[in-house]
Amino acid sequence: MFSDSPFNDGSNHESFMRAALREAEAALEEGEVPVGAVIVHKGRVIGRGHNQRETLQDPTAHAEMIAITQAAASLENWRLEGCRLYVTLEPCSMCSGAVVLSRIPEVIYGAADPRAGACGSVLNLVQNEKFNHRAIVVPSILAEECSAILGEFFRRRRKDDR
């Protein structure tokens, strides 16, 4: 299911995932589900985002979607070839579809999403042979830290609901 990266360059997966975690922390501060994403091109962050569904009242305002929009604007191209998506939570089907359509060649995520993950947990859209583009998936980078921030959010939410 998961392949070796063609970017086998001793990449800084952990440092870029930490940048995504900073985005997740921003979401947490805003009362959003704390998911963060960054898109890297040639070793530089060109797109970043965190969940803003509640803030924008937009069901598509996922961290990945915002980061993809910024990256496309940065490159002035909707084709994000040569980019990596770092995201703290395994992308859902909408975001995985955007990965395929934007031709991002590699997805690196932290925490798996056993309820909605579309990079291998529930289904695997980004590696579906029927699509003309497939992405390499690198799971579990800083998974404990990525899971911890989500756990903190849901603990707070349950406490507030009492």
Q: List the catalytic residues.
A: 64
The radius of gyration of the chain from alpha carbons, rounded to an integer in Å, stands at 15
The order of strands in the sheet holding 44-50 is 44-50, 36-41, 83-89, 106-111, 136-138
Residue 106's SS3 state is strand
Q: Which two tokens stand for residue 67?
A: 């980061």
DSSP state of 127: G
